[in-house]
Amino acid sequence: MAVDGAGYAVVGRIRRSAFDVAVLAELVAPRGGSRALLRRAIGLAGRALVMIALPAPDERATFLSLGFLPAPYTLRLLGKPLAGALDADLAAWRFTLGDTDFIWEPRDTRGARARRPSRRSVRFGPSLLAAGAAAIVATMVSRASASSANKRMPTISKEADVGTGTFDRPPKPVDRYTLTNRSDMSVKILTYGGILQEVNVPDRRHRVANVTLGFANVNGSSTDSYVGSGNSPYFGALIGRYANRIANGQFSLDGTTYQLPINNPPNSLHGGFFGFDKHVWDVVRADVGPQGPELELHLLSRDGDQGFPADLDVWVTYTLTDDNRIKIDYKATNDSSTLCTIVNLTNHACWNLHGEGTSDIYDHVLQLNADQYTPITSALIPTGAIDPVAGTPLDFTKPTPIGERIRDSGNQQMQFARGYDHNFVLNRPSPTDTSTIWAARVTDPASGRTLTISTDQPGIHFYSGNVLDGTLVGTGGNAYRQGDGLALETQHFPDSPNHSNFPSTVLGPGQTFQTHTIYAFSSSPRT
């Protein structure tokens, strides 16, 4: 690749202070330059000056823009590159675009090259640096204004009739909504089950990938669609009325025993055979609000639905913010004037921060804000005890790779679940505290993507994809095998109605239950 004095260039300084993000100017570097302007540009830009110049056959070519992450010497690609993905090593003054190295080689006092190229490369000398520096002085203000004006706006759009919800009577058409923000993140949500079908997030090199497991089709075969998969994996779905398990499908309220469907023998799981994940939700609102694009869904669950008492009105609002957060707000009202009911709501997204269908999650590094957990029986039902995680494979109080202890054959809890399938008790100052706290943080070292989950709920259920067996085909066309995703479900404890020492999930007549969970995505530099 030939580079001369003409081309698009980026010049700016290295910012060292934490959380100081600098967006560099985009400009066209003319031939020649001025040493006086170079000195002035260095004074404006700081001690360390960095430049990349690329061939520009015409002024309509795509600009290359860079910005600094909140870590020293690390660059992040903000604009669309001319070709390939860009990486940078400022310590070596090396910038890699696709399969080509761009190296500016400063010379030491003896005139020797400070670095030698290891691959096909393009060198930037002082004259080209001077040209870029001169141009930045003349164009900084105008280009910054144009960049701001062209910034992508948050949007929400609808695709009508992408499938049919056959469990509703009569069957209902399914729509898909796409939410986008200003930061290259997008989310696709189906009205069927309120499912998070895709969550597309950039990594440390600004490459975007879908990081949640799911299916490409609403309807189809038993291996590649939401409606067709008889033994639903619940990918991305809203779960209710009661998330997680209830022992033998039974609980009692006010002297009456209620029987739920046994869809996970010998227990009832995630609301029964036809829980909230199997219904087409009504759209109440789809617009761009102060925080970003919002989609509000509604479902009415009638008295007796899957054996649960009382009419229950449920609203769920998805919001995508510009700082790459998905916020889910839940609201449920017991419409009965006489009957109590039980409520436990969550979203069953399964995450793979490397990209769905690309690998397992055993190298993901997990930290949980939980010193205790609820041990289970061989039927995966809590014993009623609340035990410390210390000294067990369930201790994630410090960042730990998920696969580090998952094969511990000497731990009975790991044997029962065939991995992780446990509820963790979040650290709170008191049992009645409902403030929003961080619950979990998981990082994929390869991509740098990090997911931090915050909630006002008392527990978080960690599931390591133990039953995935290669029979399901995901959104990207690849088979999902054991350990290819993890779920981190914020919720009340499993089987709470049958354990008086667990936080109550009873919702009395006329009462309203509200909760929220925030999924915050970020990227970290390679360490």
Distance CA 210, CA 202 (A): 9
Angle in degrees, CA 349, 344, 263, rounded to 5: 75
Angle in degrees, CA 157, 169, 223, rounded to 5: 65
- The DSSP H or E segment spanning 137 is helix 126-149
Contact between 86 and 96 (Cβ < 8 Å): yes
* Known active-site residue 364: no
Helices (H), 412-456: 412-417
Q: Between helices 35-45 and 126-149, what is the axis angle to 10°?
A: 50
Distance CA 317, CA 315 (A): 7
How many helices and strands (H and E) does the chain possess? 3, 39
Catalytic residue, candidates 348, 364, 461, 492: 348
* Known active-site residue 499: no
Distance CA 112, CA 115 (A): 9
Among 257, 238, 256, 237, residue whose Cα is nearest residue 247: 257
Distance CA 272, CA 130 (A): 69
- By CB atoms closer than 10 A (0-12, 13-18, 19+), residue 527 is exposed
Tally of CB atoms within 10 A around 148: 9
Token pair for 523: 């990227």
Catalytic residue, candidates 198, 296, 356, 489: 489
Residue 307 three-state SS: helix
Distance CA 264, CA 52 (A): 58
Among 437, 165, 375, residue whose Cα is nearest residue 279: 165
- How much helix, strand and coil, in percent to the nearest 5, is found in the chain? 10, 40, 50
**DSSP assignment letter at 225:** B
DSSP per residue, 4-69 = -S-EEEEEEE---STT---BPP-EEEPSS--HHHHHHHHHHH-S-EEEEEE--SSTTSPP--EEE-
Catalytic residues: 348, 489
